[in-house]
A and B are shown apart, each in its own frame.
Chain A
Amino acid sequence: MINYIFASFFILGIIYSLITNNINISNEMLSASSKAIELIFSMIPIMCLWLGIVNIAKKSGLLDKLAKLLTPILKILFPEIPKGDKAFSYISINIIMNMLGVGNAATPFGLKAMKSLQELNKNKDTASRSMITFIVLNTAAVTIIPTTIISLRMLNKSINPMSIVPYIIITSTLSCMIGLILDRLYYLVIRR
């Protein structure tokens, strides 16, 4: 699937640029490559810092306590993860970080969660049911503090930059629920 997305973006983009005589595209490709490198370099410190901190939390048992707090909800969302699995801890922190609007700190835990879900996965090249649910939780994450949006609104002289926060909480919660319901329905329909 990612295969086709990757290919179609290239094909559509390049053909359309050629038709519209957009010569800039070769420069854009090069600058995108350096942008990608920059992004990775800006991600490495966050990854190292947060996985360092969380490793301490893991060893002290704090992580398991946190996971226990969210377990009742997570058990419903992820019926296939065995009780007490470490995937629960990573999923919990990932959700909390996403809610707090620190998406880039959520990514390291998301990747760790995927790794532990892969250990439980029987078919190593196919996404498991839990993985799909977890992806939905991330792409349609519930947001409580949308940091970037608030600062963009401040920059553009909004009278009340915070006014959209309640809307975002409602919208992101509803769309996350819709995503999760679709996910569950799809699973139930396919299984039959």
Chain B
Amino acid sequence: MITISNIILPLITLIVIIYALYKKVNIYEEFLEGVKEGLKISLDIFPSIFAIIISVTVLVKSDLLNDLISLININLFPKEILPIAILRPISSSSSMMILNDILLTHGADSLIGKISSIIAGSTDTTIYIIAMYYSSIKIKKIKQSLLIGLLADLSCVIISIIIVKIL
């Protein structure tokens, strides 16, 4: 399946170009147009990515979250998955680092390793996406977006725990 995802993008490119040739589109010119736009969008979203990464880093590196997590005492589910469950919506890079640690210490095929993999794979970095997508079009009032995004993430954590235990 990894090979599948490796050939997906080249395959899409191939189909697009062949179809466009068949439709007699000026492929080169249109490609350049798109590249120009890509550059513009990247520059537009740069400030918001910069801002969100720094604020997330300050929070994560202060160890506040980790220290809070170590205070929590619950027996409903393995406590080891808490760091990844909490950090996944906030920071993609640090949650992947945590997943790597978990897989290393508990083993990739252990219960904790499985639940953590499922949590990390089933949801995306909610706060980052909201910040990037909304600021790219200068939206200031995001209404219930964050609440629903985080509730969906929470449901993802709960479902992962249940699904590994019953299947």
Contact residues of A with B, CB < 8 Å? 1-3, 5-6, 9-10, 12-14, 16-17, 20, 22, 24-25, 28-29, 31-33, 35-37, 39-40, 43-44, 47-62, 98, 100-103, 105, 107-108, 110-112, 114-115, 117-118, 124-127, 131-132, 135-136, 138-141, 143, 145-153, 155-165, 167-168, 170-172, 174-176, 178-179, 182-183, 186, 190
Contact = CB atoms under 8 A, between A and B. Distances in A.
B4 interface: yes
Interface of A is mostly: helix
Nearest to A41: B42
B166 to A, nearest CB: 11
A81 B68 CA distance: 43
B22 to A, nearest CB: 8
A170 B1 CA distance: 17
Given A48-B35, A107-B132, A127-B134, 19 more contacts: A25-B62, A40-B50, A47-B39, A48-B38, A60-B23, A100-B8, A115-B136, A124-B139, A125-B139, A132-B142, A139-B130, A139-B152, A148-B120, A150-B2, A161-B108, A170-B163, A172-B121, A174-B159, A182-B148
Interface string B115-130: 0011011111111011
A56 B163 contact: no
B50 A51 contact: no
Nearest to A18: B62
Contact of B130 (A13, A24, A62, A135): A135
Contacts of A12: 59, 62, 64
Contact of B121 (A132, A139, A168): A168
Contacts of A172: 121-123, 156
Contacts of B45: 111
A132 B149 CA distance: 9
Nearest to A126: B141
B151 A178 contact: yes
A8 B45 CA distance: 21
Contacts of A138: 124, 129, 133
26 contacts: A12-B64, A17-B61, A50-B38, A52-B33, A56-B17, A59-B25, A59-B26, A61-B23, A62-B15, A62-B16, A103-B124, A126-B140, A127-B142, A136-B145, A139-B129, A140-B156, A148-B121, A150-B1, A150-B2, A153-B117, A156-B108, A160-B109, A167-B114, A172-B156, A179-B151, A186-B148
Nearest to A5: B127
Nearest to A178: B155
Sorted nearest first, the 3 A-B pairs with minimum C-beta distance are A55-B34, A179-B152, A158-B108
Given A2-B135, A36-B50, A52-B31, A140 B152 contact: yes
A81 to B, nearest CB: 15
Nearest to A14: B58
B131 interface: yes
B46 A40 contact: yes
Contacts of A143: 121-122
Given A61-B23, A145-B1, A16 B62 contact: yes
B53 interface: yes
B82 to A, nearest CB: 17
